[in-house]
Chain A
Amino acid sequence: MNELRTEPRQGATGNRIAVLPPRTPLPRAVAAVVAGQLGRVRVAAVPLLFVATLQSLGIAVLLRGVVHGRGTATGASIVAGTTVLVVAFVALNLLSQRFGLLRSTRALDYYAAMPISATAVVLGTAAAYASFTLPGAVVTAVVGTAVYGLPFAQLWVVLPAVLLAAVVLAGTGAVLGLAMPRPELATVAGQLGMTAVLFLGIVPPSHLPELIRAVRVAVPGTLAVDAIADALRPGTPWGDVVLRLAITAGYGVLMLGLAGRLLRRAVNR
């Protein structure tokens, strides 16, 4: 240190002692992140949701002609797959892009410098992105059920299943975005993830080779697809539905936790 250095002058606050302000409680932090994200995407949300819903409805209607006469199981799989695809388009694909961009532009510093947990950032962003997919997913499920002539009685399962699928897919999107070294790779990873959900979610498992069926279980969101498909068939195996949704929830918590860890690591580069 140079000899020009001196002791600091007495602060204007005298002997004031700084009391540590508390950390922002998780619900309040998540609510703030959600409000910010919704404010940010408000303009883009409607066209995005329109595209996501139209894409899923288009696939459901197109496949109606292809699988005509193959039974309700196939129809239920297609409706379930296209419903979850609406969520995957936004929660996985777009969220991966968003976190890839935040990471590459050092924008994560903004959140990391706030008295909130990394989980609040991931959860809030994921919740905001997932929330505007819900209407599209419900519309797809209702229209798909009508087009394939499936029973409406158990359609309520779509709500918890789509919510849990949104958690796991958003968590996966965040993980992909934060894990990739470059934003372009995050975009590619998000799109590949969505393609995996599109293919493995919509094609009924019974039509897939043994090996792909084993891989399918590990793809986020496919168990939620199966839960919806089970609910749309007569004689719903409720035990399987609950188990699949529980595993999806656990998977979601795991992915959100992993995303939180990756976010902390990305900040301290």
Chain B
Amino acid sequence: MSDAGGVDGTTAYRVRGLEKSYRGASVPAVSGVDLDIAAGEVFGLLGPNGAGKTTLVRQLVGLSVPDAGSVAIFGHDLSADRSVAARLVAYLAQDEAALAELPVRLAVETSARLRGTRRREAARHATGLIDELGLGPIADQPMVRLSGGQRRLACVASALAADRPVLVLDEPTTGLDPVARRSVWAAVRRRRDDHGVTVILVTHNVLEAESVLDRVAVLDAGRVIACDTPVRLKAAVDDSVRIQLVWRHDPPHGDPAVMALARDATRDGRRWTARLERAEARDVLARMTRPPLIDALDDFTVSTPTLEDVYLALGGRADDLEHR
């Protein structure tokens, strides 16, 4: 295969008709997935656990052979040569058990060396990444002795080692505190802005999806049920608002507003969440803010739609997305 001949430089990933089923499973893990991901884009895969995100990314990085369909990275077809993915993509899996017993610095250095960087240069890479992600105080500790968040951050550093043109990060911020999470997002953005790196980010965190992604594909049961910018996706359900109520005690029985709300709301103890049409929401709010209901309420919030609302509006069946 030639290095660049016939390659469309603006498309990092071209995915067509991707299928994958596991033996014994009643539904396919990935079904009919088509995606175009532009070079330099921060692209997200959002969906609840079991939606097929990890199976899809394993196919995108050449670790899993699809039952049908094709994946091309910068015009290089993975079905012709799966090693192309390893040469272009740095992949962060959900759990990097292979690195567990290595000290952080050695883990980052080893990852850089495995990607072809010479030893001294790899050591420089490791030092730079350790500084960038604030890993200095734990650099010489074995990963296995670190907290879950610290370990995850060290794994992110390993994925960023040796500057690949594509980063595929499977839930990179799971378990991270807000400071570490922001430093990961900043590192990802820096690589995109300064070096044009393409980033595919798997997440089930709505906040992360809304704040860092250029575009997002929403997955449910192995299918892409929507794919667009977070803003445009939310605009599609813009005629609704989300109302969240926290009752001080059990809500009054027999009140028509409570009964109407009870029909649509998701209940978590005394916390009720409902997505209502704007007109309906105005009506409910008017009643809620008058006695006797206002006296029974501890708190209420009204917010514009989130990607979770988009997900549910598009027929998503699970509601275990994170939004913290």
Q: Is the CB of B227 within 8 A of A1?
A: yes
Per-residue interface assignment for chain A, residues 13 to 51, with 1 indicating a CB less than 8 Å from any chain B CB and 0 otherwise: 111111111111100110111011001110000000000
Collect the chain A residues with CB atoms within 8 Å of residue B96's CB.
Answer: 107, 110
Collect the chain B residues with CB atoms within 8 Å of residue A18's CB.
Answer: 4, 7, 9, 12, 39, 73-74, 88, 165-166
Per-residue interface assignment for chain B, residues 42 to 69, with 1 indicating a CB less than 8 Å from any chain A CB and 0 otherwise: 0000000000000000100111110000
Report the minimum CB–CB distance from A215 to chain B (whole Å). 36
Per-residue interface assignment for chain A, residues 196 to 221, with 1 indicating a CB less than 8 Å from any chain B CB and 0 otherwise: 00000000000000000000000000
Interface range for A:
35 or more
Q: How far is the CA of A20 from the CA of B88 in the complex (A)?
A: 6
Collect the chain A residues with CB atoms within 8 Å of residue B7's CB.
Answer: 17-18
Tell me if A's interface is mostly helix, strand, loop or mixed: loop
Tell me if B's interface is mostly helix, strand, loop or mixed: mixed
Q: How far is the CA of A227 from the CA of B113 in the complex (A)?
A: 38
A8 sits at the interface (CB 8 A): yes
Q: In the complex, what residue of chain B is closest to A101 when comparing beta carbons?
A: B97
B130 sits at the interface (CB 8 A): no
Q: How far is the CA of A1 from the CA of B223 in the complex (A)?
A: 8
A12 sits at the interface (CB 8 A): yes
Q: Is the CB of A115 within 8 A of B87?
A: yes
Q: Is the CB of A2 within 8 A of B227?
A: yes
Q: Is the CB of A36 within 8 A of B63?
A: no
Q: How far is the CA of A85 from the CA of B61 in the complex (A)?
A: 41
Q: In the complex, what residue of chain B is closest to A33 when comparing beta carbons?
A: B114
Q: Is the CB of A113 within 8 A of B36?
A: no
Q: How far is the CA of A35 from the CA of B41 in the complex (A)?
A: 35
Q: Is the CB of B224 within 8 A of A268?
A: no
Report the minimum CB–CB distance from B67 to chain A (whole Å). 12
Partner of A20, one of B87, B90, B228: B87
Q: How far is the CA of A108 from the CA of B97 in the complex (A)?
A: 9
A70 sits at the interface (CB 8 A): no
Collect the chain B residues with CB atoms within 8 Å of residue A11's CB.
Answer: 10, 12, 38-41, 196, 198
Q: In the complex, what residue of chain B is closest to A16 when comparing beta carbons?
A: B9
Q: Is the CB of A39 within 8 A of B102?
A: yes
Q: Is the CB of A4 within 8 A of B226?
A: yes
Interface range for B:
35 or more
Partner of B228, one of A5, A22, A35: A5
Collect the chain A residues with CB atoms within 8 Å of residue B65's CB.
Answer: 268
Partner of A19, one of B3, B228, B232, B233: B3
Report the minimum CB–CB distance from A166 to chain B (whole Å). 22
From 117 to 152 in chain B, residues with beta carbon under 8 angstroms from any chain A beta carbon are 118-119
Q: How far is the CA of A6 from the CA of B36 in the complex (A)?
A: 10
Report the minimum CB–CB distance from A142 to chain B (whole Å). 32
The total of Cβ contacts below 8 Å across the A-B interface reads 179
Report the minimum CB–CB distance from A193 to chain B (whole Å). 23
Q: Is the CB of B9 within 8 A of A115?
A: no
From 96 to 136 in chain A, residues with beta carbon under 8 angstroms from any chain B beta carbon are 101-102, 105-116
Q: Is the CB of A12 within 8 A of B192?
A: yes
Report the minimum CB–CB distance from A92 to chain B (whole Å). 21
Collect the chain A residues with CB atoms within 8 Å of residue B193's CB.
Answer: 12
Collect the chain B residues with CB atoms within 8 Å of residue A19's CB.
Answer: 3-4
Q: Is the CB of B4 within 8 A of A15?
A: no
B264 sits at the interface (CB 8 A): no
Collect the chain B residues with CB atoms within 8 Å of residue A108's CB.
Answer: 98
Taking A16-B196, A19-B4 as contacts, is the C-beta distance between A31 and B113 under 8 angstroms? yes
Partner of A39, one of B64, B86, B106, B233: B106
B76 sits at the interface (CB 8 A): yes
Taking A15-B9, A109-B63, A268-B63 as contacts, is the C-beta distance between A22 and B110 under 8 angstroms? no
B153 sits at the interface (CB 8 A): no
Report the minimum CB–CB distance from B3 to chain A (whole Å). 5
Q: Is the CB of A20 within 8 A of B84?
A: yes
Q: Is the CB of B98 within 8 A of A13?
A: no
Collect the chain A residues with CB atoms within 8 Å of residue B166's CB.
Answer: 18
Q: How far is the CA of A32 from the CA of B64 in the complex (A)?
A: 25
Q: In the complex, what residue of chain B is closest to A29 when comparing beta carbons?
A: B114
Collect the chain B residues with CB atoms within 8 Å of residue A1's CB.
Answer: 34, 224, 227
Collect the chain B residues with CB atoms within 8 Å of residue A29's CB.
Answer: 114
From 235 to 249 in chain A, residues with beta carbon under 8 angstroms from any chain B beta carbon are none
Report the minimum CB–CB distance from A183 to chain B (whole Å). 12
Report the minimum CB–CB distance from B32 to chain A (whole Å). 8
Q: Is the CB of B116 within 8 A of A110?
A: no
Q: In the complex, what residue of chain A is closest to B74 when comparing beta carbons?
A: A18
Report the minimum CB–CB distance from B298 to chain A (whole Å). 36
Q: Is the CB of A36 within 8 A of B74?
A: no
Q: Is the CB of B74 within 8 A of A17?
A: yes
Report the minimum CB–CB distance from B287 to chain A (whole Å). 34
Q: Which 5 A-B pairs have the closest CB atoms?
A: A13-B196, A12-B40, A11-B39, A11-B40, A32-B113
16 new A-B contacts, CB < 8 A, other than A18-B74, A35-B113, A111-B98, are A1-B227, A10-B10, A11-B12, A11-B38, A12-B39, A20-B76, A25-B116, A31-B113, A32-B110, A36-B106, A36-B110, A109-B63, A110-B97, A113-B62, A115-B87, A268-B63
List the interface of chain A (C-beta within 8 A of B): 1-2, 4-25, 28-29, 31-33, 35-36, 39-41, 101-102, 105-116, 267-268
Q: 11 A-B residue contacts at CB 8 Å?
A: A1-B34, A2-B314, A4-B226, A5-B228, A8-B215, A10-B10, A20-B3, A35-B106, A35-B113, A105-B97, A268-B63
